Structure 1
Amino acid sequence: MSDCIFCKIASGDAPAKIVYQDDHCLAFNDLHPKAPVHLLLIPRQHIANLYDIGSEHRDIMSQLMLTIPKVAKKVGLENGFRTITNTGQGGRQEIYHLHFHILGGGVLKPM
């Protein structure tokens, strides 16, 4: 999608501090961190949110779930981390490209 900022980051057309990337996904620092470590993990493929996931996305979703702990360990979150994804307006989703927040590096507030 030409107007999606996360698609632009994935294609290299917009800047981001990328900490991990492979053929399927990439992780980068959130511009407005809510924890000492706050990364976003996105699929390279544009998927708006969890409502748009279908059986054809099984492999990419599996890859994302396997990548989250790998990225967390890479950035030093050995003591644990929180993973969040927001879906739709009611879930306070701001950018309509599926993404997972990986937060840690300090004491996180209870939810």
Structure 2
Amino acid sequence: MTPPAAKDDCLFCRIVKGEVPADVVHAGETTIAFRDINPQAPTHVLVIPSSHYANIAELAQWEPGAVTELFATAAEVAESEGLGDQYRLVFNTGAEAGQAVFHTHMHVLGGRPLNWPPG
């Protein structure tokens, strides 16, 4: 079995390629972070790997080091956004869990109290 490749119809792959505009807050070699267009908190940034994987489980299987990079990027974003150590990281995996774009992405949420359970 071979790892998935970038998809021409994937919104996030198109953002990585620069074909679709995004409010980018961080761009690294293996990750990119940009503001969510439908924010659920005052700070709501998506952190994605540059490579295409449908969800975090696929990414962990094929590029485990990229998972570490996602978390490192999230910490940098939280710091640069002034969240300090007060933020939530979320992965939605599958449509029933709320995943709408099937390219691995981590939500960085903060800037207000976040209740539990989330909903």
For these two proteins, the number of residue pairs brought into alignment is 111
Could you list the per-position Cα deviations for residues 34-70 of structure 1 after superposition, in whole angstroms to 9, with x for gaps in the alignment?
Answer: 0000000000100100232354311111111222111
How has the CA–CA distance of structure 1 residues 78 and 23 changed in structure 2, closer, same or farther, with 3 Å as cutoff? Answer: same
| Displacement over 4 Å in runs of 4+ | none
The structural deviation recorded for 1:100 is: 0.3
SS in 2 for 1:66: helix
Normalised by the size of structure 2, how large is the TM-score?
A: 0.87
Match of 1:2 in 2: 8
Q: Percent identity?
A: 36
Residue deviations 1:73-101 (CA, integer Å, cap 9, x gap) = 01111141001010012212110000000
User: Which of these residues, 98, 103, 107, is aligned with residue 97 of structure 1?
Assistant: 103
Structure-2 separation of matches of 1:108 and 1:98 = 23
Instruction: Please state whether the residue corresponding to 1:8 is helix, strand or coil.
Output: helix
Aligned with 2:63: secondary structure?
Answer: helix
Unaligned runs of 5+ in 2: 1-6
Q: 1:109 aligns with which of 91, 94, 115?
A: 115
Query: What corresponds to 2:42 in structure 1?
Result: 36
Which position in structure 1 is the counterpart of 2:3? none
RMSD: 1.3
Query: 2:51 aligns to what?
Result: 45
- Any gaps of 5 or more consecutive residues in structure 1? none
Question: What CA distance in whole angstroms lies between the structure 2 residues aligned with 1:62 and 1:79?
Answer: 18
